[in-house]
Chain A
Amino acid sequence: MVIGLILLSAAVLAIDSRLRTALVAYASFTAATLWLAFPHPSTPAEIAFVATLSILKLVVGPLAIVMLVRRYQVSEDLAPSLGLAWRLLIVVVTLAAAHAIRQMTALNDIPSAGVVFYAVFASMMIVVLHRNLLAHVIGLLMLGSAITLAGAVFAPDLPGAIELAGTFDAVIATLLALSIARALLAFDPRLDIRSLRELRG
């Protein structure tokens, strides 16, 4: 059920281009990954950690995006860079890639390895498939959730691993991405990356 929600919400994020739908799908994705990563937080420290991450990821992140949209009249169209058929195909390929990774001998003894890699691929997919920078912010937020999930699935007994992943999630994904997106608004209120093609790496 939880894994199904992760698969579905990531697919919706890739296929649908409306910001509102994307935010709902993102919230479902994040809630599901948090649930999978911390099914039964028991100690006060664990509960505090999960609560902080939940507030940051499910309240602060989406709220900041909504505020950016309302205050600066940012376009709510996430501007897909490929047609619907191609996006659907990429979702299927991503699912197949995650399934193939799950079948690797190396990851046989890790039950949710496939979901972790799907979550990472999905966050990349959102970035690649949309031209609106807000989609890229959502992609980074999803990457943060995927990393937290990776910490919980791959190294639950490693001291500090999950906390480290959570901090990465909070600082890099949320703070940095939103700051730069906010600064870029001065040049293009639509936040379309087509206006950011001066540099050719």
Chain B
Amino acid sequence: MIAVTVAVAAPFGAALLSMLPSQLPVRRIVGSVLAVIAVALALGALPQLDPLSALCVTLISVLSLLATLYSVSVFPPVELEATPWSGRRAYFVLLGAFWSSMLIAVTSTSFIGLWIGISATTLATTFLVGFSGGKAALEAAWKYLMLCSFGIAIALIGIFLLGHAALTAHLAPAVALSWDTVARNGGRLSPELARVALLLMLLGFGTKAGLVPMHSWLPDAHSKAPAAISALLSGLLVSCALYAIVRVQHVAAVVAPALFNDALLVLGSLSILVAATLMLAQRDIKRLLSYSTVEHAGLVAIALGLGTPLGEFAAIYHILTHAFTKSLAFLAVGVVQQERGTTTIGKLHGLWNDASGKFLLAALVGLTGLPPFGIFVSELLIVLAAAAAHQWAALACAVTGLLIAFIALARLAIDTESGTRVARSGEHRRRRAAFLVLGCATAVALLLAVIPFVSPIANGRALTLALGLR
């Protein structure tokens, strides 16, 4: 317990400590070293967590470290009308707070702790979304705050109602909101009240995951935030919200499996179709990638809604592959933005000639679901799981959405990567650390195609599930 608490507090503490040295180069070194120590502490706490929490802690730690190192190298530009929180110190403190709050969410064993973590992310990220201080960034931050506040408030009402149902069933107050306890005693809960509670929780956490129709904040917030924050919002925050839905489903599987799974299938199908269609209309790379996040969240919701072991495995696997590939895409776009001074698709040509363009292309190939990236395997598993579960309508929506998204991403890749090289209008300095981060993210996105099937941690379970199509 102490190891987990230390691991959770470490990123925020590290961010605060790294602010102490007055000279920027020293602060950079101290900050980077402390971030690595925070990751080491988190990995040290893994044996005390259940497998899903351990997986999420690893994901959060690795990606947050990469985003921190990237931010040291590529610090986001600030507009003239900077807000009080638009400084370097505030940025890293908020980043540390964001990192810690995500760890709170995934290391908790009760819905209350999970909710505290998820809502704490709102605190840190609202300011990070509006970091540049520009009008559009503040508008995005405002929209994010309004919609996510209502979302997490609805989730909290659901949690209170579940607590009421648990207490009425004479569960001990101290463990009344622990998902294991509630799931074990699911039969004793009032089914009507538990259903209402679980649906409210799905609605609330679904808002944070950006599922349609509660998605409208996501493309704005993810596209207006600094690149490293966009990477964490799309790669991790959405994953944390989906993790929350997995935990809610853990209880729903006992109390109201059919209703909950149907709701997930509907939300997932809507998300993938609407987001993929809107991807076709985007003129800005970051907005297009943000809609792609909604599409992938929808795909995960469909996989979870299948209610089969293979569906659940594919969903968690897809969360992992998407997190790395989407983060890679946003981080590469961040370098492109600094080099070319824009993210407008029509103004970017010949990116293939630059290293950042090559990384962006790798990410786009991954996001389209082509081999040899991990997303290819996870999407294939989701399609197979849907077919095995005979969920033909959801399968049709998923395949249609994937095809439309493929067209949008392929068009983006062709438009931006081909053509003659345009003279750079942005900054020209070297960014070794940023390219090292991009290289690491690409390597993991590729390796994830095989890791779950050969890893001793999975112990052959992944392969059995995939081959047995259960």
Binding site for B on A (CB under 8 A): 104-107, 109-110, 116, 120, 124, 127, 133, 136, 140, 143, 146-147, 150-151, 154-155, 157-161, 164-165, 168, 171-173, 176-177, 179-181, 183-184, 186-187, 196, 198-199, 201
A187, B224: Cβ atoms closer than 8 Å: no
B192, A104: Cβ atoms closer than 8 Å: yes
B224, A171: Cβ atoms closer than 8 Å: no
Q: Give B194 Cβ to nearest chain A Cβ, in Å.
A: 8
A147, B153: Cβ atoms closer than 8 Å: yes
Indicate whether A155 sits within 8 Å of B160 (C-beta atoms), given known contacts A106-B192, A199-B224.
Answer: yes
A196, B142: Cβ atoms closer than 8 Å: yes
Indicate whether A106 sits within 8 Å of B196 (C-beta atoms), given known contacts A164-B116, A171-B123, A201-B220.
Answer: yes
A158, B167: Cβ atoms closer than 8 Å: yes
A186, B81: Cβ atoms closer than 8 Å: yes
Near A by CB (< 8 A), chain B positions 72-86 give 81, 83-84
Smallest CB-CB separation from A146: which chain B residue?
A: B153
Q: Give B328 Cβ to nearest chain A Cβ, in Å.
A: 24
B220, A199: Cβ atoms closer than 8 Å: yes
By a CB distance below 8 angstroms, the chain B residues around A150 are 156-157, 160
Q: Does B408 touch A at the CB level, under 8 Å?
A: no
Q: Give A179 Cβ to nearest chain B Cβ, in Å.
A: 8
By a CB distance below 8 angstroms, the chain A residues around B262 are none
Q: Does B390 touch A at the CB level, under 8 Å?
A: no
By a CB distance below 8 angstroms, the chain B residues around A146 are 153
Contact with A along B135-178 (1 / 0, CB 8 A): 11011111101100110111011001101100110000110110
Q: Give A137 Cβ to nearest chain B Cβ, in Å.
A: 10
Interface size in chain B (residues, C-beta < 8 A): 52
Smallest CB-CB separation from B291: which chain A residue?
A: A201
By a CB distance below 8 angstroms, the chain B residues around A159 are 173-174
- Known interface pairs A155-B160, A168-B153, A201-B220; 4 further A-B residue pairs with C-beta atoms within 8 A, sorted by A's residue number: A155-B164, A180-B138, A187-B138, A201-B217
In the complex, which of the residues B139, B157, B174, B192 contacts A116, with contact meaning CB atoms closer than 8 Å?
Answer: B157
A198, B135: Cβ atoms closer than 8 Å: yes
Q: Does B190 touch A at the CB level, under 8 Å?
A: yes
Q: Does B215 touch A at the CB level, under 8 Å?
A: yes
B138, A110: Cβ atoms closer than 8 Å: no
Smallest CB-CB separation from B190: which chain A residue?
A: A106
A187, B135: Cβ atoms closer than 8 Å: yes
A158, B176: Cβ atoms closer than 8 Å: yes
Tell me the bound Cα distance from A158 to B157 in angstroms.
13
Tell me the bound Cα distance from A151 to B135 in angstroms.
36
Tell me the bound Cα distance from A146 to B127 in angstroms.
25
A180, B133: Cβ atoms closer than 8 Å: no
Could you jot down 21 A-B contacts, CB within 8 Å?
A104-B192, A105-B192, A120-B157, A140-B145, A146-B153, A154-B161, A154-B163, A155-B163, A155-B167, A158-B164, A164-B115, A172-B122, A172-B145, A173-B149, A179-B127, A181-B142, A183-B133, A198-B139, A199-B219, A201-B143, A201-B220
By a CB distance below 8 angstroms, the chain A residues around B220 are 199, 201
B164, A176: Cβ atoms closer than 8 Å: no
Tell me the bound Cα distance from A187 to B82 in angstroms.
12
B167, A183: Cβ atoms closer than 8 Å: no
A201, B176: Cβ atoms closer than 8 Å: no
Smallest CB-CB separation from B116: which chain A residue?
A: A164
By a CB distance below 8 angstroms, the chain A residues around B138 are 180, 183-184, 187
